[in-house]
Homo-oligomer: A and B are copies of this chain.
Amino acid sequence: MNIIVKKYGGTSVATVERIEKIAKKVVELKKKNKIIVVVSAPAGMTNDLLEKAKKISKTPSKRELDMILSVGEQVSISLLSMAIQNLGEKSISFTGWQASILTNENYNKAKIKKINIKRIKKELEKDNVVILAGFQGVTKKNEITTLGRGGSDITATAVAAALGLKEVDICTDVNGVYTSDPRIVNNAKKIQKISYEEMLEMADSGAKVLHGRCVELAAKNNLKIHLRSSFTEEIGTIVGGVKNMEKPIIKGITLSKNESKISIKGIPYSINVLNTIFKEIANEGINIDLIVENKVKDEIDISFTLSKNDFEKALCVSNKIKEKLKAKNVEFNESVSKISVIGYGIKSNPGIAAKVFEVLSNEKIPIDMVSCSEIKISCIVSKEHSEIGLKKLHEKLIEKNKEVEKYENL
């Protein structure tokens, strides 16, 4: 019999009514399949607990944080199991430790090392719907860990991979991945198929619908992710299993407003400048996104962007670096936006970059920084220009480009 792994996010289990809706769907699917359901904590619950913790301590121990962060899913799994049983179907719920989801000891963002699927398989054989707490695991020393952002998606993907399945269903409150944010771009279209690499760039560039770690895990295990709505049977977006194409295809355009920019200016030239700067920053655990270096005579200017969450820490380090390297000054903009155009062949088709710059320039939007990867161009623009830039790029590069549709209909 076919095994289906379905993950439901926090909004899908936020109320009793929604839990009952999910239960009905699961019972319906159960008629023809064996079902494993992975659930997140009810929306809001984990944040409420986190807030309480932060009231008690500004820097709570990571171990104790995972202790409290893992209770939300335990609530969801038990309520969903009750709802399924109430419809006359057999089910059993498991926390991360009960399901033997073994992780390393990296509290708050632990990595799954192994899943012992014996117990899960046994319960499937007994005709139970198996309900698993997402986002959490256990170390070999019996300590509770959580997996960090996107954790439940990762749990579902890892379980599907451990069972040797070909696909995992990630069910959420949107019905797929869009060519751009539909709340901003009216004509944004649902993407039918997208490669792992493109999805990774989308996720990294502001599309919050799937976390990069989950996409990577799926890619490694050659597992397709079907990103779809929690409440309908509509086909969503399939991630993975797409052949790369020679022709450049713009798959999506994303916007992230959660960015900050810092520049360290007038650093006396030395071979070690970059090395020194980014070692100091890495030591603080700050992830840098874009980097632009500019050398004028014997001085270097360095600008970089990073997540707004890390801004204060980064500014602090930057000032230390300024002193150390005898730089002239530190400039910053706490709130900038990043627009990213994503698709295969972007780098090998310089025309696309040119088109992006042309569209923005026609709108009189200054581009502050630019970065290109194999399949992505990102532009840092000011916050006030970000939405109009996104709309215009979507209009010119996707809505007026027949290639997209051709690709979509493959």
Contact = CB atoms under 8 A, between A and B. Distances in A.
A359 interface: no
A79 B68 contact: yes
A85 B67 contact: no
Contact of A53 (B20, B61, B79, B98): B79
A287 interface: no
Contacts of A63: 92
B20 A56 contact: yes
A70 B97 CA distance: 14
A214 interface: no
A16 interface: yes
A70 B70 CA distance: 12
A77 interface: yes
Contacts of A71: 71, 74-75
17 contacts: A16-B55, A19-B56, A52-B79, A53-B78, A56-B79, A56-B82, A60-B85, A61-B85, A64-B93, A67-B78, A67-B81, A67-B93, A68-B75, A68-B78, A71-B71, A71-B74, A95-B144
Interface in A10-27: 16, 19-20
Contacts of A203: none
A362 interface: no
A272 interface: no
A65 interface: yes
Contacts of A57: 82-83, 85-86
A77 B67 contact: yes
A145 B352 CA distance: 61
Interface string A40-82: 0000000001001101110011011101101100110111011
Contacts of A143: 98
A60 B84 CA distance: 10
Closest 10 CB pairs of A and B: A67-B78, A68-B78, A57-B86, A71-B71, A60-B82, A57-B82, A64-B78, A64-B81, A16-B55, A56-B82
A142 interface: yes
B98 A56 contact: no
A74 B95 CA distance: 13
Contacts of A60: 82, 85-86
Given A52-B75, A53-B78, 14 more contacts: A49-B75, A53-B79, A56-B82, A57-B86, A61-B82, A63-B92, A64-B78, A64-B81, A64-B85, A65-B82, A67-B93, A67-B95, A68-B75, A68-B78
B67 A74 contact: yes
Contacts of A78: 53, 64-65, 67-68
A83 B77 CA distance: 29
Contacts of A81: 61, 64, 67
A56 B93 contact: no
Most chain B beta carbons < 10 A, residue from A71, A95, A143? A71
A69 to B, nearest CB: 9
B142 A56 contact: no
Interface string A329-371: 0000000000000000000000000000000000000000000
